[in-house]
Amino acid sequence: MTPTTRANFLPEQRFLPLRPALQEHLAKLGAAISPVNFLSICDEMLLKLLKETFARIGADEGSIWLLDQDKQHLVVAYNSGPNTAKIMGFKQPLTKGIVSLVVASEHPFVENEVYNNVDHSNTLDKALHKATYAMIVVPLYFLNEVRGVISCVQLQDVEIRDGKPVPKGEKPSGFGPPDLNAIQTTSAVVRDLIDYRLLGTAIGWNRL
């Protein structure tokens, strides 16, 4: 098989003086994106990719959490799963939970029996009357900044013992390194699709 030759595309010299203005405009577009309007920049292909990836790895719920305008909270801006009505718009302080730790560290996270992790916030679990058994969280970037995270979970039923929720029934299958890799790959594709759409908007190729 003949090795693939890399295409050596160089910047167009006429466009280089416009780069600072373009970067400034893109920064303004990025700052204007919020959990409330995030879905308006997501086309059907992007949402289909997310939904199919979450389903393929056996996630019960998959979400995109975005930083709010003040960068004090993470807010669920997209969710794929049967509990979407309860999860959409859920807000968590950046001082709580594993999703917030991933934003701060920009390192991915995957773990089973998450309900035993002292960093796990069970506020959303209580609202769903479930326990989070397995969780994957990866940073979400676009326009060269971390803007939030993509997360997915497997949930387990609970029963109340001595006033505390205790997981019951069959354990979910859990997540492993291949599942983490799938979510990281999806995060990279989401980043590129959003960057491309915002660039196209900035130069008049398309409208948001």
Domain ranges across the chain: 19-202
Q: How confident is the model at residue 149 (pLDDT cuts 50, 70, 90)?
A: very high
Tell me the average pLDDT of the chain: 93
- Per-residue CA distances from 195 to 26, 75, 128 (Å): 9, 21, 34
- The pLDDT tens digits of the residues spanning 109-138 come to 999 999 999 999 999 999 999 999 999 999
Structure token digits, residue 173 = 């299958």
Q: Measured between alpha carbons, how far is 80 from 175 in angstroms, rounded to an integer?
A: 17
CATH superfamily label, 19-202: GAF domain (3.30.450.40)
- Using CA atoms of 27, 150, 132, 52 in order, give the dihedral in degrees to the nearest 10: 150
Q: How confident is the model at residue 85 (pLDDT cuts 50, 70, 90)?
A: very high
Beta pairing class for 61-67 and 130-142: unpaired
pLDDT value of position 24: 95
Q: How many CA atoms lie within 13 A of 128 on its CB side?
A: 25
Its pTM stands at: 0.92
Structure token digits, residue 77 = 């801006």
